[in-house]
Amino acid sequence: MSIHTIARIPVRQRGAVLIIGLIFLVVITLIGITAMQRTTLDTKITGNYRSYTIAFEGGEGALSNGENRLCMSTTRPIIGNTQNTTSPAIWSLGSAYNDCKGAIPVDPDNPWWFSCGFNWWQGQVVNTGRAYEFSDPLFSLENNQNPSQPMYLIEQQGGQVKDDTLVHGYPPPPPKFLYRITARSSTGQNSQSDVMLQSVFAWRYKQ
């Protein structure tokens, strides 16, 4: 009985499986990087929206606080008052622009609330007492990266507004006065979200 040994001729290896595997690895890596970048972008968008929402709500709270301050005053506020008096601090229309223009260069094409910087606002609260800070514990809790509180100031807008609604047999009511309240609220590091809100408020004082 004889045993025949069959010698196999070696086949040349071309590495096709290795090349295909490397291609798949590169594709999967690109998909992973794209997904990570998309997640990072979504996180930033969500964070910016949250910061803006907190700033907007802080500005709304400051506006409401200013309106309530006008309502609580029993007599008509006098222009030039400060927080040291019992009556609210009131600016005349245009005086905030002139004060800001004297402190820093102001673009005449922009309203003063866009031109006056954060330091000017804080100066009106801390140094001159002609602006107010709206302190809200919830705002401070949500805005832990920026300890500043929303600020607002009040301007008397124009003169008296007569009420044409007359009741027969009664004297005409006292005129109304218009006040413009401007609020500024900043959140995030380096005032990442800076929101400014305004309202025009009409109120009738007995005196």
Tokens 């930033």 correspond to 44
Q: Which two three-digit tokens encode residue 47?
A: 């964070």
Model confidence at 184: pLDDT above 60? yes
Tens-digit pLDDT profile for residues 145-156: 666 788 999 998
Question: Which amino acid does the sequence have at 131?
Answer: A
pLDDT at 102: 66
pTM assigned to the model: 0.73
**Which of 5-19, 43-57, 180-194 has the least mean pLDDT?**
5-19
Model confidence at 177: pLDDT above 80? yes
pLDDT at 104: 63
Distances (CA, A) of 127 to 26, 82, 101, 119: 62, 10, 17, 11
